[in-house]
Amino acid sequence: MAFNTIKFGLAVLSKQRQFKARQHWTRRQFDEYQTHELRRLRDFAYANSPFYEEFHKGYYDAPLHELPVLTKSALMEHFDTLVTDRNIRLQDIEAYIADPRRTGLFRGEFTINVTAGTSGRTAVVVFSSAEWATCMAGAFTYTPMNLSLTRRSRLAQVASATTFHMSAMGGVTLRSLLMPGLILAASEPLPEMVAKLNEWKPKVLVVYPSIGRILADEQLAGRLHIAPRDVLCGSEPLTGETRRRMAQAWGDRIFNNYAATECAGIAIECGQHRGMHVVEDLVIVENVDRNNQPVPDGVYGDKLLVTSLFKRAQPIIRYEIEDSVRFSKAACPCGRPTKLIDSVQGRMQDVLSFPAKAGGSVSVHPLVFHSIIDVLPVSGWQVVQEADGLHILLSGVHGAVDDEQLKHLVQNALASQGALVPPVAVQRVMSIPQTVVGKTPLVKSNLPRT
C-alpha cells in the first residue's frame, strides 16, 4: 500500500472517531459548534478568497441568513477567485480532466468531482485530501450500516461510471482503502449485472433507487440471489413503492441518503426510518422559498441553501440547491436532536409547467405522477414532456396494466390541477433511458427552458 494511502486511511479513522463522539451531542452543542465553525469558515474565506471578500462586502459580521446566495453559475464564473489556493486554476483542472494519461490526484493533493449537469450546467468541485477524508469518514460514521475500515463488509455499488462523478470517485476511494467492493455501472446490461452480483454476494448494496427497484424485481422473480444486510439508496427520490419492493426482496434495512456533489453528505436515514438526519456538524441547511425566505417545518420549500462547514479549498456558503424538501415537525424517536428531512420531492427542474385552463400556466409536481404510476407492476417508468404531449414510458411490465385507464388517470389528475390537458401516450420500452451518469429521472421535460 502506498504511503499516501496509509496516511489517508489514518486520517479517515481519526475523523471517524471525532464524528462518532458527536453522535451524542445535545442540540445546544450542535448550535454552539455551528456558530464557531461558521465564523472560522467565513474568516478563512474573507482572508483567502478574493471572490468572497467582494461578494460579502458590507456583510462580514452579518448573520448567515442575510448573506447573498451563491448559485452554480456564480461558482463557475468566478471559479479562480473563489478558490482559496491561488495556484488552482479552472483551465488546469479542465486539462487534467481531459488528459487520458493523468495519474493520481490533481496536483497530487486535490480530488476533483464534476456535477451531472441535470440543472443545465455542470460544476467543478474541489476537495483537498483532508476534506475528502472528511467525506469518507462521514459516510462511514453517519450511515447506520456500520461501515468501517476496521470491520470491512463486502460491498456492491451500482452507480455512475463517469470518471469524475462523486459516486464513481467514492468507489475508487473505497478500493484504495482496501474495502472489498464490486463497482458496477448503472448502464451495465441487466443480465450481466445480476450474474456479477450473484457471484459477489454483497453484504452491503449501494444503488440508485431506480436500479434498486429493478434488482428487487429480479430477486423476487428468482433470477437474483443475494442477501444484503443493508441497502443504501441515494441520488434519486426514493418513492414509497420502490422502498416497499426492495424491503420485500431484502428486508426492511433500506436507508435513504441525501447528498450533493458540491458539499457531499447532507442527510442520512437512521434505523427508525422517520426521515433523514441532517449532518449538522458538517453542513448548515436552510429550507427556503423562491425568494430565499425560510419556510416552516412541515412545509415544502422551493430550494435549499447549503453551507459546508468543513470545505476550505472551495468554500461553499449559502449555495443554492434547487431541491424541494420538507423538514419534519416531529423529533425522531432515536433521540438525536438534528433536523430531520422527512420528504424530498425532487429537483424543482422536475416540476412540469402546463398552460392553465384559467389562463397563464400551472406547475405540476412529480408527486402527481408518482401517486398514479409508482404502484403499477413495472420495474421502471418515466414521464417525459414533449412538444406533442406527455409520453409515459413503462419498462419491465410484470402484471396487468391497462394503458387506456392509465392515460385517463393521468389526464384527470392534470385537469384537477387546473391544466389544459395535453395528449398522453403510453409506451412500453425495453428500459428507461438513463442520463450520462446512469440515473433515470422519473419526470423530465424536453421542452426549451424559458
**Could you give all domains of the chain from N- to C-terminal order, each with its CATH number?**
3-348 (3.40.50.12780), 351-445 (3.30.300)
Residues 6+ apart with CB under 8 A from 193: 158, 184, 215
d(CA 125, CA 131): 12
Separation between Cα atoms, residue 331 and residue 438, nearest integer Å: 35
Question: Band of the pLDDT at 135, cuts 50, 70, 90?
Answer: confident
CA separation for the pair 115, 131 (Å, rounded): 17
Comparing 72-76, 83-87, 100-104, 193-197, which segment has the lowest mean pLDDT? 100-104
In the prediction, which pLDDT does 3 show? 40
pLDDT at res. 181? 73
* 194 vs 214, residue with greater confidence: 194
For residue 35, the model assigns a pLDDT of 97
C-alpha cell at 293: 425566505
**Residue 166 confidence (pLDDT) above 70:** no
Contact 350, 367 (CB under 8 A): no
CA dist., res. 90 & res. 170, Å (int)? 22
pLDDT of residue 185: 77
Q: Taking the model in full, what pTM does it have?
A: 0.77
The pLDDT confidence band at residue 295, using thresholds 50, 70 and 90, is very high
Averaged pLDDT for residues 266-290: 92
Distance of CA 161 to the CA centre of its chain: 16
Closest by CA to 220, choosing from 194, 258, 248, 241, is 248
pLDDT above 70 for 260: yes
φ, ψ of residue 228 in degrees (nearest 5):
-65, 140
- Residue 270: band (very low, low, confident or very high) from pLDDT cuts 50, 70, 90: confident
Give mean pLDDT, residues 202-227.
Answer: 89
Least reliable range by pLDDT among 161-170, 334-343, 422-431:
161-170
Q: How confident is the model at residue 341 (pLDDT cuts 50, 70, 90)?
A: very high
pLDDT on residue 1? 34
Q: What band does 2 get if pLDDT is binned at 50, 70 and 90?
A: very low
